[in-house]
Amino acid sequence: MKLSLPWNRSSIRTRAVLTQIVLIIVPVFLCTLLLYRQVSSDTVSSNAKVTYEYDRYIIDTFDTSARQMESLANTLAGNKSIRSYIALPPGHEKETIYQDTVSPLLKYGYNRYLPTQSIQILPGQTLSGISVENTTAYYHRSDYRMWVFDTHDGITDSRFFYQFEGEGNTPALVLFTPSSDMLTNIITSISSVNGQQCALFGTDGTPLLIPDSLSEEDRATFRGNFSRLTEGYQILGGSRVMYRIRCEAIPLVVVSLQQVAGTPLFSSSLLLTVLLSAVLILLCIFISYQVFIKGITRRIIRLSDACESLTFDPPGETSSGMIRKDAGGAISLPSVEVMGQDEIGTLSESINHMIRRIGELSNLNAQEVRESQRTAYDMLAAQIHPHFIYNTLENLRMMAEINDDQQVADQLYALGRMLRLSISDTSSMGEVSMEIEHAQMYLQLQKMRLNNQLDYTIEPVSPEILQVKCPRFLLQPLVENALKHGFQQKNRPGRIVISAGTYEKGIWLRVFNDGTGLTPERLEEVREGLRQNQPIMNTRGGIGLVNVNSRLKLFFGSEAGITIESAPDEGTTCTLWLTTNG
């Protein structure tokens, strides 16, 4: 390929290329080579910080399990049946209460709070009565919570005790026994991040779990850092990084080592080089400025001033530029006059050709900006942090299940799941399975609100249909319309059926209700509104139907959409047609 340079003396390109190569590119390249060592040092610290943050995330997941154990223990301690069970003397009645009430609650907690292996209620025992003579370490998190760690044959087991009182101030303990590989899993998870070597210590420096697979050098490093088990990371001698992370809910300190490349030191000679390079770059910039100022910069300033006059003043202010508006709102724009035969002159001429379009586009652009600002404001006003709501609903549902109120638990689950489907996922696309689940949760909540005067059925759907991608919120508007318009004039319970199937060009989703139905005239108005893609007259739900119909056609093509069949006193059937096969 032949390289052709424009060596015309009047060309800006020629002067720019020469100036950049001689006065800027060469010094910058030289400075880059000189600063390489310092940049590599900063990279090591940055990578160490990233590794530490990821290790912190892993530890937080285990802390979450420990907090869940404490939350469940607090819930069990407040349960009336368990408090009564603690106060009873040994006998048939106490055994019966345990089998009928206490045991199911403990099994429920075991199934939900992993990695718990077992949960036990120990009547009549206190933390002070627990034997810890042959125990590796034990730690009181408070006066009524204690962790115990036992190490044998290279394996460390843990137990968590929670002290409470039953009826009549009878003492008792809740004992959680996590799975035997819980602590091993912590080491395995940390070790998998960038080849770290990991060990566990108690908060007082007691070694709880140091794998035999570690080298003698690493084991010696771990044993020599009992008094420095602080939070954070430290680069050791330029060859290794030590990370120390203290768990919040479990009395553990996780210490790990990672081999890194040598870390160069910032020397005085490198500092002198940096200063000299900075002076050289400033000198080159000054020379470049002098070269360009006479032949280029002044004309660019003139062009910039002319372009600034094309900017609209803010609304309500008196225009101080060259733009004027007449009584009818028409815009009068000036021309840009910068003489020359080089690129700046060509640019000036091109701007003049575009000016006549500015007046037409400016009003449209201003309107779009206002709409964008209004949309951004609405999005900010609508922002919430739903995780608090989800966690609260889940805790309420857990309490309802513990107290055998399954109806309330089911409704709380439906509400929480519906919120997750509606709020957490902000994407515009989903799957048919999500649409059906969203409609099911909505119907479950409406059934309770209507005092069980609603019966609904969701017919079985094949897995292939459930996995089909589709725009979100397709079924819920149809179900909502069925409840609002199909049953509002009925005096008997209503019924809704949701079904799905396939046809030669794709799949269909159908919502049927046995409500009052539509008259032939009204049915034709609804169909015409869908054909014209216009809101349906005298129908609040008509906008939702048109919206769903429009999104189907936009995503799947003109053959997709909604069809409606209805007859008075026989009900209404709405079918969504999704053309997924070509």
- Give 463-485 as a DSSP string: HHHHT-EEESSSHHHHHHHIIII
Q: Say if residue 13's pLDDT is above 50.
A: yes
Summarised one tens digit per residue, pLDDT across range 92-149 is: 888 888 888 888 888 776 666 556 678 889 998 999 888 887 788 888 888 899 999 9
Q: Say if residue 317's pLDDT is above 60.
A: no
Helix (H, G, I), strand (E, B) or coil at 193: coil
CA distances for 374 relative to 369, 370, 379, 423, angstroms: 9, 6, 9, 21
Q: What are phi and psi of 34, to 5 degrees?
A: -70, -30
Summarised one tens digit per residue, pLDDT across range 60-88 is: 888 888 888 888 888 888 888 888 888 88
Q: Say if residue 371's pLDDT is above 70.
A: no
Higher pLDDT, 466 or 426: 466
Q: Across the strands, what pairs with 258?
A: 241
Domain architecture of the chain: domains with CATH: 43-259 (3.30.450.20), 448-578 (3.30.565.10)
Helix (H, G, I), strand (E, B) or coil at 180: coil
CA distance 424 to 459: 27
- pLDDT the model gives residue 2: 40
Q: Which H/E stretch holds residue 370? A: helix 343-382
Higher pLDDT, 353 or 506: 506
Dihedral class, residue 154 (left if φ above 0, else alpha if ψ from -120 to 50, else beta): left
3-state secondary structure 68-115: HHHHHHHHHHCCHHHHHHHHCCCCHHHHHHHHHHHHHHHHHHHHHCCC
198: which residues sit within 8 A by CB, 6+ positions away? 186, 187, 190, 191, 211, 254, 255, 256
**Rounded to the nearest 10 degrees, what angle do helices 386-402 and 103-112 cross at?**
150
- Percent of the chain residues past pLDDT 70, beyond the cut: 67
- Cis amide prior to 535 (ω within 30 degrees): no
Q: What does DSSP say about strands 506-513 and 137-142: parallel, antiparallel, or unpaired? A: unpaired
- 260 band by pLDDT with thresholds 50, 70 and 90: confident
Is-contact 470 435, C-beta < 8 A? yes
CA distances for 236 relative to 5, 221, 233, 242, angstroms: 54, 10, 10, 7
Residue whose structure tokens are 């003698």: 216
- 171 band by pLDDT with thresholds 50, 70 and 90: very high
Dihedral class, residue 259 (left if φ above 0, else alpha if ψ from -120 to 50, else beta): beta
Helix (H, G, I), strand (E, B) or coil at 200: strand
- Give the number of other Cβ atoms within 10 Å of residue 385's Cβ: 7
**Rounded to the nearest 10 degrees, what angle do helices 343-382 and 298-308 cross at?**
50
Helix (H, G, I), strand (E, B) or coil at 451: coil
- pLDDT the model gives residue 291: 63
- pLDDT the model gives residue 262: 47
Q: Say if residue 476's pLDDT is above 50.
A: yes
CA distance 248 to 231: 11
* DSSP letter, residue 226: G
CA distance 55 to 194: 10
Is-contact 231 248, C-beta < 8 A? no
